[in-house]
Structure formats: C-alpha cells, structure tokens
Chains A and B, each alone.
Chain A
C-alpha cells in the first residue's frame, strides 16, 4: 500500500511569507501528526489531528496552524516565516491516535527560509 505522502518535498521561502504543507496519510489512517525536525532540537511535536479535530498541540507559536479534511488529508500552515522556521517538517499517520498504533512517517518537506 502507498505510504505517507508529503508535498512538496522542498520549499524555499522568504522571511515574512507564509507556507502551506500537505500530508496524505496511509489509506484508512485517521490520525495525522506533524513534527518539526532540526539539527539542534531534534524532533518536536507540532500538533495531531484525528477525525478532523485537533487532539494535541505542541509548544509552538500561533503562527503554526493545521487542519485535517474529511478524507484525513492534513495541511499545516506557517505564517510570517522566520529564519528559524527552516527545518524538515514530518507528518506521521496512524490508524488511531498516535501511540495506540504504529505511526508511519512520510519523507518530510524541507523548508528553507531565506
């Protein structure tokens, strides 16, 4: 079966712009989580959606937002980009809320803010 698909794979944006990243989970998976990965901070949890509802949210500013659609696809948006937002953004999908079942990660979207 197809894995978790994240688009685009690479993005270059300018400070102050906004960006939208997309995640298509594995078919049948209803839970989607987003993580930010940087060399200094490692993997940090952004938010989790299950059945179109945000279940959990990490410690990130309000510039980071997300949503989930009825087909379980999810998007995350970052407004007013800062240089420090440069990172690999990873999406993970699972059948049910994260740790009740195995979470599968996509390859990520590499965001560079210049």
Chain B
C-alpha cells in the first residue's frame, strides 16, 4: 500500500499561532519523508525533509516530528505568518522510487 494520508484538509490559524499538519503511512519501506509548500500558480517547493533515523528536524520556524512506530509524521509551523498561507503536501518514498503525496492541507493564516 503506497497511500499517505494527510490531515486536516484545511486549517485556519491566527498569526503567531502554531500550525500542525499530520500524515500517516502504511508502507514500512518508506525511508524519505519530505514536506512541500505550494503557492497558487506555482509548483511545489521542498520545505523540509526527514529520514527515519531521526525523530525530529527543525529548520527555522518549521519542524518535522517523526514517529516510526506509529508510522506518522507531522509538520509544525511556529509563529505562523500570513505569508505561510499556502497548500502543504507531505510525501514519502522508498529507496529511489517515486514520491507518494498526501492530498494536501490548505493553510490560511489570518492577521
């Protein structure tokens, strides 16, 4: 099973708040978990990625938390800003095989 399940479908957060997006997977062969950010009219851009040998990775305001036993990973956006308003996709891949994407979360950060 290649599916990656992402939730919530949409998210509204106040400026300065924490945005949390969750993903779950079934395929235990997955060993690469990136998050992509997509603005309207643009292609997805890699935000941050993690491999299963670490439980957390932080880059600026963006943090990935990874729980291998639960087969879940999540994206936390601290101090969310209106400029973070975009659609976020989690993805997973096994070895050098293609990325399997979640269906996306539309984040709106309101002032």
- Which B residues touch A103, using CB under 8 A? 46, 99
Within the assembled complex, what's the spacing in Å between the Cα atoms of A45 and B44? 14
A27 at the interface (CB under 8 A from B): no
Q: Is the CB of A99 within 8 A of B93?
A: yes
Check if A99 sits within 8 Å of B99, measured CB to CB: yes
For B102, give the chain A residue with the smallest CB separation: A42
Total count of chain B residues near the partner, CB < 8 A: 22
**B44 near A90: Cβ-Cβ < 8 Å:** yes
User: Which residues of chain B are near A56, meaning CB under 8 Å?
Assistant: 97-98
| Chain A hits for B102, CB < 8 A | 42
B22 to chain A, nearest CB (A): 16
Q: How far, in whole Å, are A35 and B95 apart by their CA atoms in the complex?
A: 19
Is B101 on the interface with A (CB-CB < 8 A)? Answer: yes
Q: From the candidates B43, B46, B95, B97, name the one contacting A102 in the complex (CB within 8 A).
A: B46
- A105 in contact with B43 given A42-B102, A43-B89 (CB within 8 Å): yes
Contact B103 A42 (CB under 8 A): yes
Residues of B near any A CB (own CB < 8 A)? 32, 36, 41-46, 49, 89, 91, 93, 95-104
- Docked-complex contact A107 and B97, CB < 8 angstroms: no
Q: Is the CB of A100 within 8 A of B96?
A: yes
Task: Point out the residue from B45, B98, B104 that lies within 8 Å of A105, measured CB to CB.
Answer: B45
Contact (Cβ within 8 A) B98 A43:
no
In A34-87, the 8 Å CB interface with B consists of 35, 41-45, 48, 55-56, 58
Residues of B within 8 A of A107 (CB): 41-43
Q: Please tell me if the beta carbons of A105 and B103 are within 8 angstroms of each other in the complex.
A: no
A108 at the interface (CB under 8 A from B): yes
CB within 8 Å of B: which A88-114 residues? 90, 92, 96-100, 102-108
